Amino acid sequence: MSNTIEEIVREQARAAKEASRRLAVTSSAVKDAALRAMAEALEENAAKILEANAEDMAAAREKGTPRAMLDRLMLDEKRIHGMADGLRQTAMLPDPIGEGEMETIRPNGLEIRRVKVPIGVIGIIYEARPNVTADAAALCLKSGNAVLLRGGSEALQSNRAVSRVLVEAAEKAGMPKGALQFIDSASRDAVGVMMNLTGLLDVIIPRGGAGLIRRVVTESAVPVIETGAGICHTFVDEGADLDMALRIALNAKTSRPAVCNAMETILVHEGVAKEFLPKMAKAMREKDVELRGDEAARAAVPDMAAATEEDWATEYDDLILSVKVVKSLDEAIAHINRYNTGHSETIVTNDLNRAQRFQREVDAAAIYVNASTRFTDGFEFGFGAEIGISTQKLHARGPMGLNELTSTKYLIFGEGQIRS
Amino acid sequence: MSNTIEEIVREQARAAKEASRRLAVTSSAVKDAALRAMAEALEENAAKILEANAEDMAAAREKGTPRAMLDRLMLDEKRIHGMADGLRQTAMLPDPIGEGEMETIRPNGLEIRRVKVPIGVIGIIYEARPNVTADAAALCLKSGNAVLLRGGSEALQSNRAVSRVLVEAAEKAGMPKGALQFIDSASRDAVGVMMNLTGLLDVIIPRGGAGLIRRVVTESAVPVIETGAGICHTFVDEGADLDMALRIALNAKTSRPAVCNAMETILVHEGVAKEFLPKMAKAMREKDVELRGDEAARAAVPDMAAATEEDWATEYDDLILSVKVVKSLDEAIAHINRYNTGHSETIVTNDLNRAQRFQREVDAAAIYVNASTRFTDGFEFGFGAEIGISTQKLHARGPMGLNELTSTKYLIFGEGQIRS
């Protein structure tokens, strides 16, 4: 008699909820020791994990999986050490739980404090990369949250091996039983079940392609933190240092084109378009970037393909760049606010007033002046860790570290006060 | 040719979104002057508003609406002055927008600041009380957010009159056109349309009965902040000051039984049950409170009705109290964490260690020691205002004032930095 996927997942969530109560009052010392034990266990069991990964890789190759995806799926000794290092680094970060956010004594004598507490149970739905299993577990557990992990079916053997090693090490080191749960099933229904676990899951963080994220945002009854969609822009202002603009544009587009903080569209002020665009086109093409421009951009670089309306709204995640010439800062801001996904935007300028207007009026998580959008990242921001980059405005916006995995509680001490 | 409700509401949301861009950079001085002008306009147009309210009242009476609901619907000169005072008080509160939350200079020289910004466009879905129209408008506009209001159909005439007065005064005082939108329709479909306005609405805050809130939480694709469900507990510990416990219990149950921070269940330690329960039963009954107890409670107060499993999970919002005797602090905490809605809980105790354990281990927005749960309120907490009490863990938990109506933005200044 086998249980349905709904029963299995719901039971795991119930166990995670139960564990979350104990985890919320588990000391930093125990949590950190557990993370270090988990790191050691990963390294000790590397052979077993690599064996499981080899099965996933063989199945993926057989299915004709694209090389980029195979690369994300692949584990080796070095990547396992990387996962272990991530766990050890998370252990060294300060524990946010219990930190005071405000404190007040009211006229009636009530002492009110707001302190950070864990969110409770966090559901993570992710694709392809098995190292997310360790990274997400580390951040959730360190911040006192139980976690229910649902990885992609193509990485099932790898994720199963990694999660077994982690769960065993965590419980042996004194973490509450059930705090780390992995959904050991390739069934796509698991995602549907998770999205309806209101009362058991406190939040779902989807990490993966746009399709997955859209589905979870639209369908989930459990609150969702939307991450990772990035149509990022660079605006080259009139009077900008054009050498700097070129360095920033090249970095934003080509240093890692598949990530969410890479640039997709460059906007160039008409006053510098004729000088800047031919140089930029040459440099981008040397890096194999395909250019798609509006009419004015094509006037400056005649052999550029024509951009369509769809281009402005597309996250290429690839060596493609759309190019638009704008008449003014206002036009640049309006274009960005129309097409962006609220991730990262940058202006290259020497004009302080326009820099400030760009920062005030553009609606996004991170707004740069004279720097590459590629810096939007929990490590680059100094958080020491990152569970994802929120592109929504509620709860957390931008890179999410340990602080963003917390909620709050008001603790109030009285001496018998009643309300009149 | 009439437009569908979907077209109308979507167009209003689009106009609100457009206005929200300008509102986000509108100065505190303009916003505050507008709130004061709106207050004045309400008082000047009191006669017109009362006339519209009289129509709603007549229709409601005809339909046989219960008296409690009629009372919530009713406006008079005093209530209109109350709405105006609320607007003026909100004008006097500090503006959270632009406030710095953190600032860091990274080793590569990037200067990163996180500042408070408006959320964008807030949808409020509310029932019965027309004063919410003014209160919600004041808080949203002050915090730089455009707002799309959807009131109950029974208050349509009143809400229409109030919102027209407010919109005219706000725009005349320099607020961006379209920042305050009222859905002037009794169609229930309007709620369904709002819940699908992703990309236009940034958040929906439902204010009203459990049915409305459940529907919005389950169905909305737009993020929701859940408010107002309150199954609140008082735990009377062994060794507690029983006179204090009685005062707190009476206040928590009877001072305003229909509100969300009122007590629904009292838990009494078995060591004090025999002494406390008969006194409590007498005092509660003098206030017309119906008692429903478990077996042990009924042993101490024989003429108490029997509580069923359903009682522990019910928010009566009425003069009914469920009573349970527990063997230990652990049992009290377990009962609360099983049945509460994450709102407010209190322990009456003289034992510091048990007070601390209660605060640490109970999972709720506000956890009291020796005070009434009735204090959970934005005004009592010193926020100067309140849009609702969040019972969820994301974004905001507990009373929500102006700060809770903000998001954040990272502003980064560089000098040409690129990421290696």
Q: Which residue of B has its CA nearest to A418?
A: B372
Q: What is residue B2's predicted lDDT score, i.e. its pLDDT? A: 58
Distance from CA of A104 to the nearest CA of B (A): 8
Residue A150 and residue A205: Cα distance in Å, rounded? 11
Q: Which residue of A has its CA nearest to B369?
A: A413
Q: Kindly write down the DSSP assignment for every residue of A316-384, as one continuous string.
A: --SSEEEEEEESSHHHHHHHHHHH--SSEEEEE-S-HHHHHHHHHHS-SSEEEEEE-GGG-STTTTT-S
CB contact under 8 A, A369 and B248: no
Distance from CA of A171 to the nearest CA of B (A): 21
Give tens-digit pLDDT for B280-334: 999 999 999 999 999 999 999 999 999 999 999 999 989 999 999 999 999 999 9
> 10 Å Cβ neighbour count for B172?
12
Distance from CA of B345 to the nearest CA of A (A): 10
CB contact under 8 A, B412 and A119: no
Residue A380 and residue B109: Cα distance in Å, rounded? 11
Interface predicted TM-score (ipTM) of this complex, two decimals? 0.93
> 10 Å Cβ neighbour count for A58?
11
Q: Which one of A198, A383, A393, A406 makes the best mutation probe of the B interface by having the most chain B beta carbons within 10 Å?
A: A393
Q: Which one of B17, B354, B407, B420 makes the best mutation probe of the A interface by having the most chain A beta carbons within 10 Å?
A: B407
Residue B50 and residue B54: Cα distance in Å, rounded? 6
| Closest C-alpha to B31, from B159, B192, B147 | B147
Distance from CA of A120 to the nearest CA of B (A): 8
Q: Which residues of B touch A414 (CB under 8 A)?
A: 368-371
Nearest to B371 among A110, A360, A407 (CB): A110
Instruction: Please give the DSSP secondary-structure letter assigned to residue A225.
Output: -
CB contact under 8 A, A397 and B381: no
Nearest to B244 among A24, A112, A416 (CB): A416
Give tens-digit pLDDT for B8-26: 999 999 999 999 999 999 9
Residue B369 and residue A305: Cα distance in Å, rounded? 69
Instruction: Please give the DSSP secondary-structure letter assigned to residue A94.
Output: P
Instruction: Tell me the angle at which helices B270-286 and B242-254 cross, rounded to the nearest 10 degrees.
Output: 50
Q: Which residues of B touch A395 (CB under 8 A)?
A: 394-395
Q: Which residues of A touch B381 (CB under 8 A)?
A: 104, 106, 112, 410
Nearest to B104 among A360, A371, A382 (CB): A382
| Closest C-alpha to B349, from B243, B279, B245, B275 | B245
CB contact under 8 A, B417 and A375: yes
The pLDDT tens digits along chain A (420 residues) read 457 999 999 999 999 999 999 999 999 999 999 999 999 999 999 999 999 999 999 999 999 998 888 988 999 999 999 999 999 999 999 999 999 999 999 999 999 999 999 999 999 999 878 999 999 999 999 999 999 999 999 999 999 999 999 999 999 999 999 999 999 998 889 999 999 998 899 999 998 888 888 889 888 889 899 887 899 999 999 999 999 999 999 999 999 998 899 999 999 999 999 999 999 999 999 999 999 999 999 999 999 999 999 999 999 989 999 999 999 999 999 999 999 999 999 999 999 999 999 999 999 999 999 999 999 999 999 998 899 999 989 999 999 999 999 999 999 999 999 998
CB contact under 8 A, A395 and B395: yes
> 10 Å Cβ neighbour count for A308?
12
Residue B85 and residue B75: Cα distance in Å, rounded? 15
Q: Which one of B25, B390, B411, B413 makes the best mutation probe of the A interface by having the most chain A beta carbons within 10 Å?
A: B411
Q: What are phi and psi of A236, to 5 degrees?
A: -95, 110
Model confidence, pTM: 0.92
Distance from CA of B336 to the nearest CA of A (A): 12
* Cβ–Cβ < 8 Å for B134, B35: no
Residue B340 and residue B391: Cα distance in Å, rounded? 10
Q: Which residue of A has its CA nearest to B409?
A: A365
Nearest to A393 among B25, B119, B414 (CB): B119
Q: Which residues of A touch B415 (CB under 8 A)?
A: 370-371
* Cβ–Cβ < 8 Å for B125, B148: no
CB contact under 8 A, A244 and B416: yes
Q: Which residues of B touch A244 (CB under 8 A)?
A: 416
Which run of H or of E encompasses A149? strand A146-150
Q: Which residues of A touch B146 (CB under 8 A)?
A: none
What is the gyration radius of the CA atoms in chain B, in angstroms?
Answer: 24
* Cβ–Cβ < 8 Å for A344, A372: no
The low-confidence residues of chain B, meaning pLDDT below 50, are 1
Distance from CA of B397 to the nearest CA of A (A): 6
What is the gyration radius of the CA atoms in chain A, in angstroms?
Answer: 24
Q: Which residues of A touch B353 (CB under 8 A)?
A: none
Non-local CB neighbours of B406 within 8 Å, separated by 6+ positions: B96, B97, B116, B117, B118, B119, B143, B144
Distance from CA of B371 to the nearest CA of A (A): 5
CB contact under 8 A, B202 and A410: no
* Cβ–Cβ < 8 Å for B111, B412: yes
CB contact under 8 A, B418 and A367: no
First to last CA, chain A: 60
Q: What are phi and psi of A394, to 5 degrees?
A: -90, 150
Q: Which residues of A touch B363 (CB under 8 A)?
A: 21, 24, 120
| Closest C-alpha to A295, from A263, A317, A327, A319 | A327
Residue B64 and residue B57: Cα distance in Å, rounded? 11
> 10 Å Cβ neighbour count for B27?
12
Edge-to-edge strand ranges of the sheet holding A290-293: A305-306, A290-293, A320-326, A263-269, A232-236, A344-348, A366-371, B406-417, B111-118, B100-105
Helix, strand, coil proportions of chain A in percent (round to 5)? 45, 20, 35
Residue B239 and residue A114: Cα distance in Å, rounded? 28
What SS3 string covers A158-216? Answer: HHHHHHHHHHHHHHHCCCCCCCEEECCCCCCHHHHHHHCCECCECEEEEECCHHHHHHH
CB contact under 8 A, A363 and B21: yes
Q: What is residue A1's predicted lDDT score, i.e. its pLDDT? A: 42
